[in-house]
Amino acid sequence: MATKILTIETATRSCSVCLTKDGQPWIVRETNSQAGHAEKLTLFIEEVMQTANVTLKDLDAIAVSQGPGSYTGLRIGISTAKGLCYALDKPMLAIDTLQALAFGAIQQYNNPKAAYVALMDARRMDAYVGVYDVNCKCIKTPYFATLEPNSFDELLEHSEIDEVVLVGDAVAKYQENCQTNPLKISTVQLPSSKYLAQLAYEAYQQQKTVDVAYFEPFYLKKPNITKPKPKF
């Protein structure tokens, strides 16, 4: 019996749902529209399940992109995943958004000696950064940074790394100033639920579930919430 996991990605402007089978994307529905995650997410879940002719009860687990990313987007995705897990009594898996983004670039290039750098836009020249090897293992703990022309030169000082691959929606604004060489730019810009498939399957096999009641998004940087001015 194949392991079926529903993966949910809403950390950015991408709203994406994938029904996976044994770690492989099966049916995907997604859009890169800026708004409407709450309405589209429910619709996409219904569509992938109907297309596959399976029910939510047939799922083995539900996986969600845990962040970093949009405060609102993360809350929508995680709240939806929690609701499904509660209602169906299914385990919940949380996958790092930057890791999943890097996985998309690894599938594209698969250079065993490259460092895969996931860059998610955090406004201005700031970005959420994650650095991974060809096995999608973390080389450097995800961090928040202001991008500089030589931000990733230090990676090439390691003998096992001969190339840097940049991936994500912050690459375009950084590319003009970047001086790191040799360098490749992935065409993968946004996270997708299909990039969670293999990572979620591995987490499920290793029983790396999260506590549905207490799990919170991984913001990396505190959300910037403005309070309304008092009225007099």
CB 10 within 8 A of CB 37: yes
CB 117 within 8 A of CB 130: yes
pLDDT beneath 50: ranges in the chain: 225-226, 232
In a domain, 123, yes or no: yes
Instruction: Give residue-wise pLDDT tens across range 125-140.
Output: 999 999 999 999 999 9
Indicate whether 47 and 113 sit together in one domain.
no
Domain extent at residue 20 = 4-96+191-205
CATH number of residue 63's parent domain: 3.30.420.40
Predicted local distance difference test score (pLDDT) of residue 1: 86
In a domain, 215, yes or no: no
CB 174 within 8 A of CB 166: yes
Helix (H, G, I), strand (E, B) or coil at 157: helix
Indicate whether 90 and 200 sit together in one domain.
yes
Instruction: Give, rounded to a whole angstrom, the gap between the first and last alpha carbons of the chain.
Output: 65
Number of domains in the chain: 2
pTM of the model: 0.92
44: Cβ contacts below 8 Å, ≥ 6 apart: 15, 16, 17, 29, 30
Predicted local distance difference test score (pLDDT) of residue 144: 95
212 phi, psi to nearest 5 deg: -60, -40
Give me the count of residues in the chain. 232
Predicted local distance difference test score (pLDDT) of residue 231: 58
Predicted local distance difference test score (pLDDT) of residue 36: 80
Predicted local distance difference test score (pLDDT) of residue 113: 95
CB 93 within 8 A of CB 200: yes
